[in-house]
Structure 1
């Protein structure tokens, strides 16, 4: 009974704490993140994705990923968990199949890492775009014919330099795309 009172008291004082701590998607490198399913309130970073209208089964599903900086400031952006790494090393897209929006499982690698170093960041100049191409078929089970719906849904860690370093997590969500996987 004493434990229940303690939990209720903590929940009343910090309403989001228990839910955030229990959800591994909301924790990264010691920071509480915003819900990656919701767009960022900050218009600073935007993700745009595009691909072909159809792909044959067995061929790569190449998606172009763009990270856009709409601010007048230079940003250092962590590549981890984005296509800017050049390969899928974690689940970073929401992929759904068919009219019932059946989630497509991620079957690729999931890499755990330590503390990032300077080489893990890329520079995003003011009002500029960084882009990369990635093969979704290397990480997602895209082995059934049908209509697929895809969007990017991860948080991005950026460092802004104003004489001192300020880090900020931004939940970013891309535009949705649709393609057909044909036999």
Structure 2
């Protein structure tokens, strides 16, 4: 009985210890993302989404703004669902070359940056009801100061960006 308990415990301990150095040496800082919408909007009116990106760390960061609200609506990076299910994206789709320094946004240590977009420009909020917006993208590159942007496509270091969903109620005017 004791022997059957020791093997799984030893294996679990080994796996935990093996994972610790990798987590401790992770060069990518964890950024925090928040989506905000007004509680209600009238049907046919703008639907302003605020995207906040916070840096709780102690070092200045540069983030590549591609496919985030920091650069506006230039690709599909959100999932919008409404009373009838998922709503298709009908905005522009950009192809990219090498990133330039102006494609990056500076996120100060302990600070935050914001990007605001009007979702009604790319998604049909065409009936009253509750709509949910989720960020499905990530960051294509994060640079820790003192390094500075840009990097080549081959040098980019993508980072996932978990972000809580936001909701808005669209009401008849």
Structure 1 residues 94, 163: closer, same or farther in 2, change over 3 A?
Answer: closer
CA distance in 2, matches of 1:108, 1:114: 20
Structure 1 residues 43, 178: closer, same or farther in 2, change over 3 A?
Answer: farther
String of CA shifts for 1:121-165, please: whole Å, max 9, x gaps: 111111110012110111112212211011212111211245697
Runs of 4+ in 1 over 6 A off after TM superposition: none
CA distance in 2, matches of 1:43, 1:114: 26
CA distance in 2, matches of 1:163, 1:80: 19
Q: Secondary structure at the match of 1:49?
A: strand
Q: 1:160 touches 1:167 (CA, 8 Å); kept in 2?
A: no
1:168 Cα deviation (Å)? Answer: 2.5
Task: Report the number of matched residues.
Answer: 139
Q: Secondary structure at the match of 2:70?
A: helix
What does residue 43 of structure 2 align with? 57
Q: TM-score, normalised by structure 2?
A: 0.73
List runs of 5+ in structure 2 lacking aligned partners: 1-27
Higher strand fraction: Structure 1 or Structure 2? 1
Which residues of 2 match residues 126-165 of structure 1 at below 5 A? Answer: 126-156=109-139, 157-161=141-145
Q: TM-score, normalised by structure 1?
A: 0.69
What does residue 74 of structure 2 align with? 89
CA distance in 2, matches of 1:112, 1:63: 24
What does residue 35 of structure 1 align with? none
Q: Find the partner of 1:76 among 62, 65, 72.
A: 62
Q: Secondary structure at the match of 1:114?
A: coil
CA distance in 2, matches of 1:173, 1:58: 30
Q: What's the Cα RMSD here?
A: 2.0
